[in-house]
Structure 1
């Protein structure tokens, strides 16, 4: 690990500890001392107790399965659709408006309809993750394919490459940074959507556990789940960044970062 990475890790840890200290002071002797907000130590204690329960691990597994299956399906459909659109300027311009229109629509908008059709099931959560991820992946993938250097394509054709070979050896490697970025951004988003599916849609997972803790009025337990979700989000973010670096280790941006 380089000195810059060690320094950034230490600074991140210091920031987290500072935030917990501020939370503790605000909830004990500060302006929130008489509010229902538990202290940081109470929330950490509740999180520690939750780690020893089968309920937490089952809910975590349910949430991660929904997030992972939905993200993989979104990646397959999104990349495939993006490549198909990006290889045709006509299709690129024809679909830009509808895709840009759909991209900012949050999955929560269609949540009532999906719950009505699929019920409060893991399938409902998986579909919401898919809907919330595949459009952004398709847009980024099509942009990466469309922005491939035309001179490079022409050079490949001049060497006798067919369309399929140009697509596999020139276009897709050129579009990989766009695809990798879209997947890195979609990974933590998929976790958020999977939690929302349980919190508002009644599906299984950590979202439902959050809702039950809120209904029962167990504030330390509620914030214990929040802390665990935050740690899980950090882990997924780190894994997505690691996967992106591994996928694009040949890219100049990542070679420069590895030697920084």
Structure 2
């Protein structure tokens, strides 16, 4: 059966998005007038005023920079290690057998559970935040990469081998191109998670960055400042997601699935 649903134009999509934001702001402002305590849900003007106070402070931008450093450094390390391990798991049966139980054991453990151990080892430092980010995103990247390698048609590998290609050439010319959509998806999904982990490391573990500033604002009862930081984090998350999608499309524009999206 043919679907009667039509894809809205870019203008319509932007219009619907703007309507959704406006409705959310109206609900927010209405809610701030109905709560018993103004500190529980500050009004939009109060949050905007607190945001203006933040952006002129050097400590605010230092916190933003540290949060991004923790997120990006953890993401980069997890990407390199996760892709390498995923390729090894997908290619070599002994590696898959040796790591299966360990990965299945670690998979359901939330990264936040490792936070007390990370604090004991690293203390409330940038290294602790980076470690938490790595733990939070490396396993999904590894699993996706391994799935991508295993999805490559064995006939293609055998054909490449019959043409005299070395194992290294098969890896670079057959396996990695075939697994690249899986790897690209893993990187895109992991990008906003790194920001979440960096913030959690600051809020609960005392690592430097916006998360730590959020915890301080909550402690001193500055809900307007807390909500201002939440807005900043939302904008950072949107920017991170948009950047990861753009990079993914640029790097994999040659693949058939991405050419289909662009046409």
Alignment partner for residue 13 of structure 1, among 14, 18, 27?
A: 18
Deviations 1:63-100 (A, max 9, x none): 00000001100001000111111102343355334313
Q: Report if the CA contact (8 A) 1:213-1:222 is conserved.
A: yes
Q: Does 1:184 align with 2:188?
A: yes
| Distance in 2 (alpha carbons) for counterparts of 1:249 and 1:104 | 34
Deviates more, 1:62-71 or 1:18-27: 18-27
Give the equivalent residue in structure 1 for 2:132: 128
For residues 38-77 of structure 1, the aligned pairs below 5 Å read 38-77=42-81
Q: 1:209 Cα shift?
A: 0.4
Q: 1:165 Cα shift?
A: 0.5
Give the equivalent residue in structure 1 for 2:104: 100
Structure 2 residues not aligned, in runs of 5+ = 1-7
Deviations 1:85-144 (A, max 9, x none): 110234335533431331231111111111111110111101111111111111111111
Query: TM-score, normalised on structure 2?
Result: 0.92
Alignment partner for residue 155 of structure 2, among 151, 156, 162?
A: 151
Cα 1:206–1:152 change in 2 (3 A) is same
Give the equivalent residue in structure 1 for 2:117: 113
Give the equivalent residue in structure 2 for 1:217: 221
Q: Report if the CA contact (8 A) 2:31-2:41 is conserved.
A: no
Give the equivalent residue in structure 2 for 1:4: 9
RMSD (Å), alpha carbons = 1.7
Deviations 1:31-59 (A, max 9, x none): x3545211223223322331222121000
Q: 1:211 Cα shift?
A: 0.6
| Distance in 1 (alpha carbons) for counterparts of 2:83 and 2:70 | 20
| Distance in 2 (alpha carbons) for counterparts of 1:7 and 1:253 | 25
Q: Report if the CA contact (8 A) 1:26-1:33 is conserved.
A: no
- 4+ residue runs over 3 A deviation: 3-7
| Distance in 1 (alpha carbons) for counterparts of 2:11 and 2:52 | 27
| Distance in 2 (alpha carbons) for counterparts of 1:73 and 1:6 | 39
